[in-house]
Chain A
Amino acid sequence: MIDAILQNRKLQFVVLLIVFTLLCVIITPSDTNIFWRLPPLIKGLPLAINDSVEYLMSDWFPIDIYDPEIDDYEQKPLLSQITRSLSSVILFLINLIRELLLGGVKTIVTFTGWDWASENTWARWPALPWTVVASGAVILGYALKGLRLAILAGLAFVYIAVFGQWEPSMETLSFVLIAAPVSVFLGLVLGVWAYKSRVVEMVLNPILNVAQTMPHFSYLVPVTVFFGIGDHAGAIATVIFATPPMVRLTLLGLKKVSAEVIEAGMMNGCTERQLLYRVQIPSARRDMLIGVNQVIMQCLAMTVIASFIGAKGLGHNLLLALNQLRIGQALELGICIVLIAVVLDRMSLAWANKQTDYFADLSFVARHKFSLLFLAVFMAGTILAYVGTFLIKEGPNYLYLIPHNKGITTEQFWQAGVDWVWETFFYVLKGFNEWLIKGVLLPIKNAYLGMPIVATFILTMGIAYILGGVRSSLIVGALLLFIALTEWWDRALITAYLMTVGVVVSTVFGVIAGTLCAQNNLATRFMLTVCDTLQTFPSFIYLIPVIMLFGITDTSVLFAVIVYATIPATRYTIEGLRSVPAQLHEAGSMSGVSWLQRWLTIELPLSLPHMMLGINQTVVFALFMVIIAAMIGTDDLGQLILKSLSDRHGVGNGLTLGLCVAFIGLAVDQVIRTWADERKRLLGID
């Protein structure tokens, strides 16, 4: 009997379920029963984190700093000095770019001081006329890639200007133009370091794991404590979030460079430095470019979240619009973010793929044609803007800058649309909403909350053991134990419930959509492009349409989660199915399988490991969305993280809560990844 159970996975699952159900029935809810809930033994952790952060920032390692105001040395803690200088450097850089685009006085102030600047009112940096910036983008697009990119860049910038979002867009752009290069650089350095040193790789790996599964929100409070509030803090939070994928992909790319290519470099007499810079890094470029792409996406996704800690720009406005339920405006802002993302992405890609022409023997004019063209455009734009001051007597000078919200807007149209939907479908939507919440969601939620802690552990660790062995089981147990010992186990269960429902529905949708699209080349390409585009959207954008339809309810949260998390499920399903070798299809056809048989017996088993990795992604996406949806109003971990944002001592809470969310993600990741790797090895793929 025991032998049979040990041999058969299905039997193991059955036994596990029986044990789980029995435990659920036997154990009675009671605050003192440790089988029901564990005592919050690490309740003090957030406070401890707060205290140590406080100590680090205000007492640790004092150094003498010269203070010109009192003409004497003063004792100041080292760390706060470091973070302060770092902040001012980043702030200076962001302002520099921002004022190049929009004009201003802060850069001048940095060098002269406020007193001087307020006395000399002429000393203002003028903004570039929007026509010049937009034409500059067109020229850059043409120089990098050609006509198509030029048109794309031109349309994007004109849209931004015409819809009156020029100022916030340029603010966002200046923010991204600093955060993205810093993240790419940091990612490169860390990735190369990890490649060179096994120890560094081993240390970095778990840190990256946690960093990539921690919800964005939980970084914010620590960042404000160390760096204050403002654009620089937003940029730093963004860098923290955007660097891990770059590190990962750099390392992956370097590892994939074939041994022979490295040998070829060595045989050509490369020094170690030359080997790295001229052979290994260039050869790993493909993966690194994906990294750059991800960095840009993360940066734009963070613009909204960074606005919580004072970053200006589109994100800030989007947040305001969402709070005021101005759907139309939120939509227009969202499109601006997406446009910037797409243009930056294409441009960085084109820049990296640019070729040198060695045979061209060009004149000075030909070599510098784009710079000269830009100069001409600059002059023309400036003159045009100057002429504009005479032509347009009333209102703002549209040839210079289109002020915020003074452009065309389609807000009324969208608002009318929302109103129409509400009026027409009010009862249908309301009915559906109520049915979903009362009939489906609440029972599931109660079931989750009604699980005794022992049963939860047995179930999760049991699944991990069956699928991944003892090691997996112990890791999952340890991760969950951390959550169980905080005082937020019930909140975590709610997060888990929203995530599970989201993941299950997304997976069903994703697998169906993916399977249908994978049947046809055209559909496959179309769907992958759609997935690519949808992934460019910052996660907040997904809240816009669901709020439009369902208002502020749990249903909205769930729909946002489902829409967002279906993307990876679909993508990985298509990739998995398409990677099944053609020979197997032919072998199947020759054995006379039907369409369904082929899917069930050939395609599904072979692509399942890859699809499971997609579900892994789905889990991470769903978790992020659940947390972000705290904005709409939930009662899970995300809500607490959101609260910790406005708490002066929120660091400990924010970080611990973030870890809880990360650990849920990592526990799932552990099980799925171990299983998928094992399965891939068995099937001999990858």
Chain B
Amino acid sequence: MPSEVVISETDQPVVQCDSVYKIFGDNAIRMLQSANGVVDSKSFHEAGCIVGVNNASFEVNTGELLIIMGLSGSGKSTLLRCISRLTEATAGKIFIEGEDILSMSSKQLIELRRNKMGMVFQSFALLPDKTVLENIAFPLQIKGTGTQESIKRAKDMVDLVGLDGRENYFPRQLSGGQQQRVGIARSLAVEPDIWFLDEPFSALDPLIRKEMQDEFLRLQSVLSKTILFVTHDFDEALRLADRIAIMKDGVIEQLDTPANIVLHPATDYVDKFTKEVPRERILRVESIMDPVDPAEDVSDLRISKDAIIGTVAEAVFSAGKPVTVVDKNQTVVGALHASKVVSVLFGSRAEH
């Protein structure tokens, strides 16, 4: 394959949404046309329409983990379902790897789902009559893979999510966390390029949720999928995301990296979420370091620019002097002053 093609493929966003609208109701299309793109959910509601997604435009790049965050009724799951075309968007364009998914025939769509997409559901959505192994092998068998091969692959997936020994259990015999492991294994069985997760950990107990998030991060560090992840849990979003899209009433209020959202909330609504967030656990050194000043006396301690502030704070204080910040290649990129760390730890919101 010529190398230019490879480059252009990696440049292309994996998922691209262009002013996507989803409005529920009988005369949704007519209402939308007369609204000229400016949708007011209140006036639509009075007309008997419910606005699910309101003018969403964004891109997701290869290997990126985008989290769509919002409270219930914010339209986050609807947006995800528009992108996977489980729901038909009312207007707008959605491209998957450059292909217009809304104009696909059902045959093309099935091919796309069989080979490129995987999805994890909030209440696990396992087939109740099938064992763990059969559930995981299901997407492969649907594709037409032979029993031998699909079972072998499913067995590998069972090992990957750490359920070995439970292959012949039925979903009802498993705990919630175990069931979701099966859901994850099933969604990964066909080695999809794009991974959709719809509130995958919301139905789990807090401790299990934490464990599953760690598991998820471990998997993602191995697999590096392009991920669209829906959650209502802001902490979860901060913990996992490369970028977060915060939704309210169908509108994306802000789409940015966790650090930027915490440091510069775009709207009052976003600000409310960020208020209670312990910033030292979110922010990385990079976002509070100062440029290198050659005249300054710095300590020998070197810390990575990607380190979470909370994890290095103690070392910075005990160093007594500003600390050198380096990047992956050990190149010096800045200096970190203890005073900045103090203001992150104890500073009031007004400073930012």
Residues 126-142 of chain B, each 1 if its beta carbon lies under 8 Å from chain A, else 0: 11111101100011011
Summed over the interface, the residue pairs from A and B with CB atoms below 8 Å come to a total of 72
Q: Which of A253-303 contact B (CB under 8 A)?
A: 258, 260-261, 263-264, 266-271, 274, 278-279, 282-283, 285-286
Q: What's the tally of chain B residues with a CB closer than 8 Å to chain A?
A: 37
Of B110, B127, B151, B186, which one neighbours A358 at CB under 8 angstroms? B151
Min CB gap B49→A, angstroms? 21
Of A263, A279, A357, which one neighbours B121 at CB under 8 angstroms? A263
- In the complex, the answer to whether B133 meets A358 with C-beta atoms within 8 Å is yes
CA distance A355 to B133 in the complex (A): 12
- In the complex, the answer to whether A355 meets B121 with C-beta atoms within 8 Å is no
Of B113, B151, B196, which one neighbours A268 at CB under 8 angstroms? B113
| CB-CB under 8 A for A267 and B118, given A274-B142, A282-B127, A283-B129 | yes
Of A258, A263, A269, which one neighbours B110 at CB under 8 angstroms? A269
- In the complex, the answer to whether B118 meets A283 with C-beta atoms within 8 Å is no
Of A266, A267, A269, A355, which one neighbours B168 at CB under 8 angstroms? A355
| CB-CB under 8 A for A260 and B122, given A267-B117, A269-B142 | yes
- In the complex, the answer to whether A267 meets B86 with C-beta atoms within 8 Å is yes
B160 on the A face (CB < 8 A):
no
Min CB gap B277→A, angstroms? 31
Of A260, A269, A286, which one neighbours B139 at CB under 8 angstroms? A269
| CB-CB under 8 A for A264 and B114, given A283-B128, A283-B129, A358-B151 | no
CA distance A357 to B131 in the complex (A): 10
| Interfacial chain B residues near A264, Cβ < 8 Å | 119, 121, 125-127, 186
B88 on the A face (CB < 8 A):
no
B84 on the A face (CB < 8 A):
yes
Min CB gap B156→A, angstroms? 14
CA distance A264 to B187 in the complex (A): 9
| Interfacial chain B residues near A274, Cβ < 8 Å | 142
CA distance A268 to B138 in the complex (A): 8
Of A258, A267, A286, A358, which one neighbours B119 at CB under 8 angstroms? A267
B257 on the A face (CB < 8 A):
no
Q: Which range contains the number of A residues in contact with the other chain?
A: 20 to 34
CA distance A158 to B319 in the complex (A): 90
B143 on the A face (CB < 8 A):
yes
Of B86, B125, B143, which one neighbours A261 at CB under 8 angstroms? B125
Q: Which of B156-212 contact A (CB under 8 A)?
A: 168, 186-187, 190, 196
Residues 364-407 of chain A, each 1 if its beta carbon lies under 8 Å from chain B, else 0: 00000000000000000000000000000000000000000000
CA distance A70 to B122 in the complex (A): 72
| CB-CB under 8 A for A267 and B113, given A258-B123, A358-B147, A358-B151 | yes
- In the complex, the answer to whether B130 meets A260 with C-beta atoms within 8 Å is no
CA distance A258 to B147 in the complex (A): 27
Min CB gap A249→B, angstroms? 16
CA distance A648 to B117 in the complex (A): 66
CA distance A285 to B138 in the complex (A): 17
| Interfacial chain B residues near A358, Cβ < 8 Å | 133, 147, 151
| Interfacial chain A residues near B122, Cβ < 8 Å | 260
B40 on the A face (CB < 8 A):
no
CA distance A268 to B116 in the complex (A): 10
CA distance A357 to B190 in the complex (A): 22
Q: Which of A489-525 contact B (CB under 8 A)?
A: none
CA distance A292 to B112 in the complex (A): 38
B111 on the A face (CB < 8 A):
yes
Min CB gap A357→B, angstroms? 8
| Interfacial chain B residues near A258, Cβ < 8 Å | 123, 125
Closest to A266 in B: B86
Closest to A285 in B: B129
Min CB gap B100→A, angstroms? 19
CA distance A285 to B129 in the complex (A): 8
| Interfacial chain A residues near B117, Cβ < 8 Å | 267
Closest to A272 in B: B106
| Interfacial chain B residues near A263, Cβ < 8 Å | 81, 86, 119, 121, 125
**B118, B142, B187 pick with most chain A CB within 10 angstroms:** B142
| Interfacial chain A residues near B147, Cβ < 8 Å | 358
Min CB gap B113→A, angstroms? 4
| Interfacial chain A residues near B119, Cβ < 8 Å | 263-264, 267
| Interfacial chain A residues near B138, Cβ < 8 Å | 268, 278
**B114, B126, B129, B134 pick with most chain A CB within 10 angstroms:** B129
| CB-CB under 8 A for A269 and B113, given A260-B123, A358-B151 | yes
Closest to B152 in A: A358
**A261, A269, A283, A285 pick with most chain B CB within 10 angstroms:** A269
CA distance A286 to B171 in the complex (A): 14
- In the complex, the answer to whether A268 meets B142 with C-beta atoms within 8 Å is yes
Min CB gap B99→A, angstroms? 16
CA distance A278 to B121 in the complex (A): 19
| Interfacial chain A residues near B111, Cβ < 8 Å | 269
Min CB gap A210→B, angstroms? 33
- In the complex, the answer to whether A260 meets B142 with C-beta atoms within 8 Å is no
| Interfacial chain A residues near B143, Cβ < 8 Å | 269
- In the complex, the answer to whether A355 meets B125 with C-beta atoms within 8 Å is no
Extra contacts besides A270-B110, A355-B131 (20): CB < 8 Å? A258-B123, A260-B123, A261-B125, A264-B119, A264-B125, A264-B127, A267-B84, A267-B113, A267-B119, A267-B196, A268-B138, A268-B190, A269-B111, A269-B114, A269-B115, A278-B138, A278-B142, A282-B129, A286-B128, A356-B134
10 closest A-B pairs by CB: A269-B114, A264-B125, A268-B139, A260-B125, A269-B113, A267-B119, A260-B121, A282-B129, A261-B125, A358-B151
Can you report 18 A-B residue pairs in the complex whose CB atoms are below 8 A from each other?
A258-B125, A260-B121, A260-B122, A263-B81, A263-B121, A264-B126, A266-B113, A267-B117, A267-B187, A267-B196, A269-B115, A269-B139, A282-B130, A283-B128, A283-B129, A285-B129, A286-B128, A355-B168
- Interfacial residues, chain A to chain B (CB-CB below 8 A): 258, 260-261, 263-264, 266-271, 274, 278-279, 282-283, 285-286, 355-358
- Interfacial residues, chain B to chain A (CB-CB below 8 A): 81, 84, 86, 110-115, 117-119, 121-131, 133-134, 138-139, 141-143, 147, 151, 168, 186-187, 190, 196
